[in-house]
Amino acid sequence: MYSKLLDLSKSSDFQRACENEDLESLESVLLNANILKKVSISKSEDSLNGQNPQPEPRVAIAVVELVVAGYVGAIVVTVIIGKNKDTGELETANFELKSPMVKNIVALISKFGSANFVKKAVEYFQSIERTTVQPIA
């Protein structure tokens, strides 16, 4: 886990994605680093209608602690998201995440990206964590 984080912190593609607030590029970097993995999730509506479910590709987090151990509980993460323009004080926000790896990735994003991008990235990770299933081997 730590070697992946170290590699991300040195990755010019990761830094560029954060600086440019490019969520699609960030996703690509995380897929290439095997932090995210594409999985197939069946559409539940088709199953309910008696039709053959069609796989719908979605990106899901494929981190060992989530796949092997499952969701033990949520981690509340306080992230520094930027300075208040009026007061100059640091602004923080609390986010609930399930993966310690994602928590550390968010910290890296906050190092290179804007407060707005950190919020977008956290919302993105939360949506992935809500739909994460065991990855296809």
- pLDDT of 105 above 80: yes
Query: Could you tell me which residue, 120 or 77, shows the higher pLDDT?
Result: 120
Enumerate the domain spans of the chain. 2-35+63-131
Angle at 82 between CA 81 and CA 85, to 5 degrees: 140
- pLDDT of 16 above 60: yes
Percentage with pLDDT > 70 across the chain: 57
- pLDDT of 20 above 90: yes
Tokens describing residue 91: 């602004």
> 78-91 pLDDT, tens per residue?
666 566 667 877 76
Q: How do strand 36-42 and strand 55-61 relate by DSSP bridges?
A: antiparallel
Tokens describing residue 49: 């209608």
Q: What residues contact 14, with CB distance under 8 A and at least 6 apart? A: 8, 26, 29, 108, 112
Tokens describing residue 88: 């100059």
Provide the whole-model pTM. 0.68
